[in-house]
Amino acid sequence: MGVKRAFKYRFYPSDAQAAELSRTFGCVRKVYNMALAARTEAWARGERVNYNATSAMLTGWKRTEELAFLNEVSSVPLQQTLRHLQGAFTNFFGKRAKYPRLKTRKRSRKSAEYTTSAFRFRGDRLTLAKMSEPLDIVWSRPLPEGATPSTVTVSQDAAGRWFVSLLCEDASVRPFPATDAVVGVDVGLDHLLTLSTGEKVANPRQERRDRARLAKAQRELSRKAKGDGANRSKARRRVAKVHARIADRRRDHLHKLTTRLVRENQTIVIEDLTVRNMVKNHTLARAISDASWGEFRNMLEYKAAWYGRELIAVDRFFPSSKLCSHCGTLTASMPLHVREWTCESCGTDHDRDVNAARNLKAAGLAASVCGAGVRPQRRTPGGQSATKQKTPRREPQEPPRTRGGRSQSSIVPRR
């Protein structure tokens, strides 16, 4: 049995299809917000509301005159958004996320999920519920042979591009042949990756390549009168297109790097960095965000699980840069501007990044044997936490409230 994979394609809807999907996005957002408000109010009264209760509420909402428009779109995406809300509360109760917040028209992702009862897939023709014509999909790569989508997610990004994601079971994903290769990977800004073999991968700095174009588009946007005017919408979309171009290049580069690392090495050792804390440094925040270390780690995690590789994350407080990889002497301090240094004990000359990668490799190998000094992965392929120590379960706190007693759950920021 293979793994579940999502295959994403771009498509070009007709005017009627675009209008139908836009209505569906709005209805999905409306149902999510109403269900969230109902669950928050019930919680304030000391009651618990689950998915079944919100599903019954949805049936009642459709029968009212002011919400009768919910019957005009497919019911499946509306049910799926209630399941997504249930998942958000499950993560909240499990201390993995903050309290769910309301979806907004401008900031929330526009998407709708269809299950098998709400779409028809024949060959390369995909037809959604409430539509008479199939979607005009650009099949940039073939689906796995004999694969049938279990769910279809339609979305529109800020740049106005339409995408369809098909979740299929891919039987071709099998573990790579075993190898003895082990590599330590140190991430950085001067070089995106430095391997324990001494190889350095240049940092493409995708955002810097389009910085002038992005700045021009943002200046044009700032000149437009605030509101929902057509000119401001066009300027906002031009900014989004530049951002999408940067993100696409960055993602493509990271996919190639991570696939190569997983294919060539049996064990990969990285550092357990807290990127969300590191970007608080306003001097380096832009460069750190452009390097996208978090996405690099996410890709390594699921690809290692797919292809039978081992990924080890070394404790973030491990002094990989200050420790001599030759004799083990620990240097007192190592400022960021020091890129090369000489060990006072053994006289070995070190490149800072190569030395750190070698120390990470050694720590990972030690942890693989005895489990010392290394934090486990943030999560297993199944989504469960891989932490070995059990933490006592705490009851979830009530959502914060304003002075007037109204819930502030909608303004609680996500992680």
Please tell me the distance from the alpha carbon of residue 166 to that of residue 140, in angstroms, as a whole number.
13
- Any residues with CB less than 8 A from the CB of 261 and at least 6 apart, and which? 183, 185, 268, 300
Q: Give catalytic residue positions.
A: 186, 271, 353
Query: How many Cα neighbours within 13 Å face the side chain of 353?
Result: 19
Query: Do 164 and 12 meet the contact criterion of CB atoms below 8 Å apart?
Result: no
* Separation of first and last alpha carbons in the chain: 34
- What are the b/e assignments for 310-346, b being 16+ CB within 10 Å? ebbbbeeebebbbbbbeeeeebeebeeeeeebebeee
* C-alpha distances in Å from residue 10, one per residue of 7, 22, 136, 165: 10, 16, 9, 9
The DSSP line for 142-197 is: PPPTT---SEEEEEE-TTS-EEEEEEEEETT--PPPP---EEEEEE-SSEEEEETT
